[in-house]
Amino acid sequence: MDPTVAVIGATGAVGEVFLRVAEQREFPMAKLKLLASPRSAGKRLTFRGQQITVEETSEATLEGADIVFCSATSAVSKQWGPWLRERGVIMIDDGSAYRMDADVPLVVPEVNGDDLEWHNHIISIPNCTTTPLVMALNAMRQVAPLKRVTAATYQAVTGTGAAAARELMAQTEAIGRHEAIPPIEVYPQQIALNVLPQVDDFDEDDYTKEELKMRNETRKILHIDGLPFSSTCVRVPVVLSHSEAVHVEFESDAPMKQLHEALRAQEGLVIGEDPKTWVSPLQAANDDRVFVSRLRPDRSVEHGVAFWVVSDNLRKGAATNAIQIAEELIRRGKL
């Protein structure tokens, strides 16, 4: 029988995209419950042509769900994760609360779908910067072992949520009308016509939590403990799609032709064959695929390459990856 599905955070930036992706992929459902905070109770959202009323997230409204997609806050994931697990309900969590737990698989189905075999009801999806990166790295490591990875990100404001997207648009409109910028609420500084080299709070070694998530999650998904990794995560005034400038050093020679072949063979990824062409965040928006372009040698190290990777942070970076995990669970007879 098709599962009863609940979405916690249905009114959020990811929740909205989740509904569209589930429609497009015809994800099988007996019933869909749309849940959010009490603020949204009574709001109506459209799914497959039907209006569904949003309800407050509670034990009563989660009752009967077979699978729960959660994209709200870490506190919300922590509130409901153990409760759902105790009842044998699978939670696919978009937040960072459980990602590094030893008994929680962190999954990009095209890379480490086998990790779903040992799930204990909570399954995490990676940070939206990690997912496109590991897809590219997974392809490339078929050619030669990875030695070191460095990256700089250019992250869209929807990664912070719907309120951040509203803040960027309000500031941009105010600038266009030559009016004062409205009070800044989401970011530490104005985001319109600016870039902010801080994503999330500061943590160990003066790296931000986002930078450490990217490192730790990449190691976990690729099963490479201690992979040398460093990144700088930057917020840019883009609404949709995260971009990353990545440098990879290999343990041995990784010929460009073989790298192209490996990237071409990676499911869910598109490689630009001409290194002089590239894909912008706008071009990747509303697309489920990960786009790699500007692949070229990095002659500053012995076996190095540099490339540009872009993907829609709300799709492959969140909603699409979550739905693909559920599809994979069904395919493996684990749902």
Q: Is 112 in the site for ligand A2P (CB under 6 A)?
A: no
How many residues at the interface with ligand A2P, by CB under 6 A?
18
Q: Do residues 271 and 295 lie in contact, with contact meaning Cβ atoms separated by under 8 Å?
A: yes
The window from 31-39, 106-114, 187-195, 225-233 that contacts ligand A2P (CB under 6 A) reads 31-39
Q: Is 309 in the site for ligand A2P (CB under 6 A)?
A: no
Q: Is 162 in the site for ligand A2P (CB under 6 A)?
A: yes
SS (H, E, C) the chain: CCCEEEEECCCCHHHHHHHHHHHHCCCCCCEEEEEECHHHCCCEEEECCEEEECEECCHHHHCCCCEEEECCCHHHHHHHHHHHHHCCCEEEECCCCCCCCCCCCECCHHHHHHHHHHCECEEECCCCCHHHHHHHHHHHCCCCCEEEEEEEEEECHHHCCHHHHHHHHHHHHHHHCCCCCCCCCCCCCCCCCCCECCCCCECHHHCEHHHHHHHHHHHHHHCCCCCCEEEECCECCCCCCEEEEEEEEECCCCCHHHHHHHHHHCCCEEECCCCCCCCCHHHHCCCCCEEEEEEEECCCCCCEEEEEEEECCCHHHHHHHHHHHHHHHHHCCCC
| Catalytic residue, candidates 119, 121, 128, 260 | 128
Closer residue to ligand A2P (CB): 188 or 226: 188
Q: Do residues 288 and 315 lie in contact, with contact meaning Cβ atoms separated by under 8 Å?
A: yes
Answer for which of 12, 81, 132, 281 binds ligand A2P (CB under 6 A) is 12
Q: Which two tokens stand for residue 116?
A: 């779903």
Q: Is 91 in the site for ligand A2P (CB under 6 A)?
A: no
Least Å from the CB of residue 309 to ligand A2P: 23
Answer for which of 30, 163, 256, 282 binds ligand A2P (CB under 6 A) is 163
Nearest C-alpha neighbor of 254 from the set 295, 307, 304:
304
Closer residue to ligand A2P (CB): 252 or 286: 286
Q: Do residues 127 and 211 lie in contact, with contact meaning Cβ atoms separated by under 8 Å?
A: no
Closer residue to ligand A2P (CB): 33 or 215: 33
* 70/74 Cα distance (integer angstroms): 10
Catalytic site includes residue 178:
no
Q: Is 81 in the site for ligand A2P (CB under 6 A)?
A: no
Closer residue to ligand A2P (CB): 132 or 161: 161
The window from 68-76, 191-199, 201-209, 258-266 that contacts ligand A2P (CB under 6 A) reads 68-76
Closer residue to ligand A2P (CB): 240 or 292: 240
Which residues, numbered 32-61, are part of the site for ligand A2P (CB under 6 A)? 36-37, 39-40, 57
| Catalytic residue, candidates 119, 121, 242, 260 | 242
Answer for which of 5, 6, 15, 259 binds ligand A2P (CB under 6 A) is 15
Catalytic site includes residue 128:
yes
Least Å from the CB of residue 53 to ligand A2P: 13
Least Å from the CB of residue 13 to ligand A2P: 4
Closer residue to ligand A2P (CB): 37 or 230: 37
Q: Is 13 in the site for ligand A2P (CB under 6 A)?
A: yes
Active-site residue set: 128, 242
Give the interface with ligand A2P as residue ranges (CB under 6 A). Answer: 8-13, 15, 36-37, 39-40, 57, 72-73, 76, 161-163
